[in-house]
Amino acid sequence: MSLSGGRGIFSQMARCTRVPALGLALGVAVLAQACAQPREQGASPAATPAAGQCQRIILTFASTAESDIVASLAAAAAVKLAIVSRLLPTTYVLDLAAADCNAALLRLRNAAGVRAVETDSRRVPHQG
């Protein structure tokens, strides 16, 4: 047995364990940098509301609701609701369009079968 053979194996094993650790460290550093950069508000054209476009809202029904229920709610509240996504069987993300946004939100909150209506926005300001 020679010591040089032993060191070669140890050196190769040390190199093999350092490569994944360096890759993980690099990935964490890139993720941290991406999270640390502030987002530009209103940078995309889709983020700018059109005339009559109020805002994106999260609407929760008291029970399971299909898209036809959303359409009938829009008609009853005299607003335009465009489904963006469905988070849960009772919860939708919607784009709200109305002449008076505050009154529209109030009508939606008071509608039968609606549990909650909240604007889809940050609850805590982004620290940049």
* Residue 128, domain member (yes or no): no
pLDDT of residue 53: 72
User: Within a domain: residue 43?
Assistant: no
**pLDDT greater than 70 at residue 15:** no
Q: Give me the mean pLDDT over the 16-32 stretch.
A: 66
Confirm whether 8 is domain-assigned: yes
Domain that holds residue 69: 49-119
Same domain, 105 and 56: yes
Co-location of 60 and 111 in the same domain = yes
Query: 108 and 70 in one domain?
Result: yes
> How many CA atoms lie less than 13 Å away from 95 in the CB half-sphere?
12
Q: Averaged over 1-8, what is the pLDDT?
A: 55
Query: pLDDT by residue (tens digit) across 89-127?
Result: 999 999 999 999 999 999 999 999 999 999 988 766 667
> Is the full-model pTM beyond 0.95?
no
Verify that 63 and 15 share a domain, yes or no: no
- Cα–Cα nearest to 95, from 128, 46, 26, 38: 46
